[in-house]
Structure 1
Amino acid sequence: MGVFDVVAVRKQFPALDEGAAHFDGPGGSQTPRVVADAVARTLTSAMANRGALTAAERRADETVVGARQAIADLLGTDPRGVVFGRSMTQLTYDFSRTLAKTWQPGDEVVVTRLDHDANVRPWVQAAEAVGATVRWLGFDTETSELDDITPLLNERTRLVAVTGASNLLGTRPDTERIAHLVHQAGALLYVDGVHLTPHAPVDAASADFYVCSPYKFFGPHLGALTASPELLESLRPDKLAPATDAVPERFELGTLPYELLAGTTAAVDFIAGLGGTGSTRGERLRSSLQLVEEYEDGLRVQLETRLAAVPGITRYARAARRTPTLLFTLDGWAPAAVAERLAAADVNAPAGSFYAYEPARHLGLGAAGAVRVGLAPYTDQSDVDRLVEAVESLDAVSRD
């Protein structure tokens, strides 16, 4: 096992030179210099549509193939099943419409109260369009743990959509167990891994579909989905007549953004270099992310302990397994006002429901939501100190 060096990591992020303490990673991480360089280098190199005739064509093809392999190494899947899109939301809408072509009235789809709306609304709308039934899986508001899915599964279940980690609460459901139960019922499992992927080693092979967003793990803004090539071969998406029917390209609309794919590969390589060891990139990725998980979890425990000592704090994230994500409110303060005061102290910790419409409503937080604090590999002790001190100062004001 290698060593995680937060000082060395922080030096790779130019944005940190501006001086803010960033706890806004769940909405999008900061970007290391090597990723920006890869994007710029690709934009200023000769590029063309993919092919093998010219250097520009070959460079484009190598960029796409390289990015598919990078995502496959990160997630432990087959590069031939990696699909790129504008965002996780766009990919999920596309696949919900494609899969709904195989549904009929009486079929059932399961979504959860824990998920970001991007892994809820596309499935609800697709089911409604074909007359399928939507079943809802709740979670315990005290523990933040997802309820048992078993009672909702039957021979009519066609798909279950569940988060790998809640972007609001950090809760990490046991997706391997869920996958086993879903497959026993003869259904497919679609996992939203957007919030999980930056924080822990991922083995996406148990899910039929696993989707993530590189901009949450130091890369550019786009989405990536992985599935088995055999499963993708069985699906018929809407596409242009002259567009290729090959997998995975049949699911990608138009020309791919080569510069963003190059940045994605650079981001994956960056993660592999965060202290991990191994003879392959996949091994280094798993090792590095284990180091990241341990580092972030240590900071999370410390931060939770210190915030719990602040009078008037109500904490909502309590699951046994969770990402380094905290959600809280402070008596006497609207969440947006807390975020505003923290921002004035150069502590970036936003407030809201963050498109996690169902969990915010289930918790009784409504549209105002709460203050969300997310740790990242570039978070250090001084950041934690600044956040705690800023919250303590707000509590002092409210008691005066």
Structure 2
Amino acid sequence: MSFDVEAVRKQFPALTEGAAHFDGPGGSQTPQVVADAVAATMVAALANRGQLTAAERRADEVVVGARQAMADLLGTDPGGIVFGRSMTQLTYDFARMLAKDWGPGDEVIVTRLDHDANIRPWVQAAEAAGATVRWLEFDPAASELDDIAPLLSERTRLAAVTGASNLLGTRPELPALASLVHEAGALVYVDGVHLTPHAPVDAAYADFYACSPYKFFGPHCGVLSASPELLEGLHPDKLLPATNVVPERFEFGTLPYELLAGTTAAVDFLAGLGGAGDGRRERLLSSLALLETHEDDLRADLETRLAAIDGITLHGHAERRTPTLLFSVAGWEPRAVAAKLAESGVNAPGGSFYALEASRHLGLGDAGAVRAGLAPYTNQSDVDRLVEAVKTLED
């Protein structure tokens, strides 16, 4: 089996505009099949979910299908898949809900490596409950998380940690970390937004795993996965007539059926990237393994060539990473670099990308650096264009 990047590229209409896209960590481009699924759902007869009419049944099938698709992608139970407006919104919802049981003396762990969506909701919820926030640091040179063990105690209630840093690409050893947290009797909340598009995922180690379909070719919405048993014990504030059934009790208002149909189409697209297997879960694992190799090879080439250019500083050297590079250019502000690259048709933005704690911890301040994120549609020509455009900054 091999990864056919040119066949993949043909399925993305946006690429006909000619830009080399390294902006995937902020949101991927969309394949035609996903747009078709969204459009087909929007023009079909729909109603609130039910079984009386064809419109009701269609809505129900869309929701059930999307839960199963996401469970296949994450290796979890479809009965624990919760949909929301975004990962940020879902995390705020669950932080406020879980914090109802926190109080003075309780502790919550967050990391300097995370996107702020997996930091601020927990910090604010802990402060409101009178609980203590403990920070798990990372080594700026190696960009690896410190050992969480010294922070854990019988007072720990939850640890929030990234599956992969959206700024540096660092992929912590989550199963081992989760095991330590669980031994302390605490919960693990994983931000899987940046990990999910780039590698096979088995989220069974996490009590909560949140991600965003628009980072892996789907529409703009959020997904949270947890065991149905865990969700049964949680009770959000909700409208009185709203169902108390899990997972629906955590989804406020009518779901966006067209976005869920697009999410299923995105998962099916991932499963069709060249992998093999009898079921969708098997095809996803196989396809994402092929994708991981493709992206790692391109990242290694790009990293080597950027490192050879005078004035370039690469940030982030973790052993396990997503195909994401963060770099600074001597004498240039990050956004000025991004603007110059854009003139060459290369989309590689500059900033801290909401990973504000990580950017400050690296000494990059709020301005951050330039981020080049690879995606399944990235090919060798894109890498060549980025390298050549960066070289022109020396002129």
TM-score by length of 1: 0.98
CA drift of 1:366 comes to: 1.1
Q: Which residue identity is paired with 1:13? A: F
User: Could you tell me how far apart the structure 1 residues matched to 2:265 and 2:58 are?
Assistant: 15
User: Does residue 238 of the first structure (1) align with residue 237 of the second (2)?
Assistant: yes
8 A contact 1:22–1:383 mirrored in 2: yes
Instruction: Name structure 2 gaps, 5 residues minimum.
Output: none
Aligned partner of 2:392 in structure 1 is 393
- CA deviation after TM superposition for structure 1 residue 367, in Å: 1.4
- The correspondence of residues 1-400 of structure 1 with structure 2, limited to 5 A, is 2-395=1-394, 397=395
Separation in structure 2 between the aligned mates of residue 115 and residue 131 of structure 1, nearest angstrom:
22
Aligned equivalents of 2:57 and 2:333: distance in 1?
54
With normalisation by structure 2, the TM-score equals 1.00
* 2:302 partner SS: helix
- Output the CA distance in 2 between the equivalents of 1:108 and 1:198: 31
**Amino acid in structure 1 at the alignment position of 2:99:** A
Q: Distance in 2 between matches of 1:122 and 1:157?
A: 17
CA distance in 1, matches of 2:132, 2:388: 49
Q: CA deviation at 1:332?
A: 1.2
In structure 2, give the amino acid aligned to 1:255: T
Q: Deviations over 1:172-209 (max 9, x none)?
A: 00010011000000000000000000000000000000
**C-alpha offsets along residues 219-278 of structure 1, whole Å, 9 cap, x if unaligned?**
000000000000000001010000000000000010000000000000000000000000
Distance in 1 (alpha carbons) for counterparts of 2:333 and 2:197: 29
CA contact (8 A) 2:140 2:316 kept: no
* Cα distance, 1:51 vs structure 2: 0.2
**% of aligned pairs identical?**
77
| AA in 1 matched with 2:47 | A
Task: Report the CA distance between 1:3 and its aligned residue.
Answer: 1.8
Cα RMSD (Å) of the superposition?
Answer: 0.4
CA deviations 1:79-100 (Å, max 9, x no partner) are 0000000000000000000100
Amino acid at match of 1:92: T
Q: Report the secondary structure of 2:101's partner residue.
A: coil
Query: 1:24-47: per-residue Cα shift (whole Å, max 9, x none)?
Result: 000000000000000000000000
State how far apart, in whole Å, the 2-side matches of 1:25 and 1:110 are.
29
Q: Which secondary structure state, in structure 1, belongs to the residue aligned with residue 277 of structure 2?
A: coil
- d(CA) in 2 for partners of 1:283 and 1:160? 30
User: 2:240 is paired with a residue of what secondary structure?
Assistant: coil
Question: 2:144 is aligned with what amino acid?
Answer: E
8 Å CA contact 2:164, 2:171 repeated in 1: yes
Is the contact made by 1:339 and 1:349 (CA closer than 8 Å) also made in structure 2? yes
